[in-house]
A and B are shown apart, each in its own frame.
Chain A
């Protein structure tokens, strides 16, 4: 299976820019997607196919990358962005998710 590696946690101050990385163990073309999950809630799609903003998602969120290295950027970070962020690839079978990056605000 394709393993997606994310850093476990990040802490930033409101108003700053933060980049969350996701590295795939093998190429996934541009089929990398990003989700935000808050405690007790279902995940919410933020970005699909590496760089496409999902409907209703603020333009503060953006995605980039291709192949094996991908980045989710939030600029500027707001207090409500405290959450865990997951990447997911759908190029290789089976679909796999990263373990998540927990974003905390200082």
Chain B
């Protein structure tokens, strides 16, 4: 069965960077888009972007251009998202999610809480 296992909670300082991971199993990692989605406390969901692990192509929501960098390691079936120049506004739960033949998300990771605080 498809599983997406994300890395654990991060407490990071303002102006720093953080890299969170999403390890995929149960399907061909290189054949499906992996998306990242943010959920700020008490707020709704925001789509950050996707990566296609088969060729490394990426697409970002303009809002997150320069903030998020998506990469993937085919050898370990793991997708990564690096967030840079962190501020308190970046404190949120970040989800990875796999799409199928369209941009809807049948499979989600459990979420990674990132807290930005000095």
A residues with CB within 8 A of B: 31, 33, 35, 42-45, 48-49, 54-55, 86, 88, 90, 94-100
Contact = CB atoms under 8 A, between A and B. Distances in A.
A98 B44 contact: yes
Interface of B: 35, 43-47, 61-63, 95, 97, 102-106, 108-111
B103 A95 contact: yes
B89 to A, nearest CB: 18
Contacts, number: 51
Given A94-B61, A94-B62, A43 B45 contact: yes
User: Does more than half of chain B's interface fall in helix, strand or loop, or is it mixed?
Assistant: mixed
A65 B106 CA distance: 20
Contacts of A97: 44-47
A84 to B, nearest CB: 9
A95 B47 contact: yes
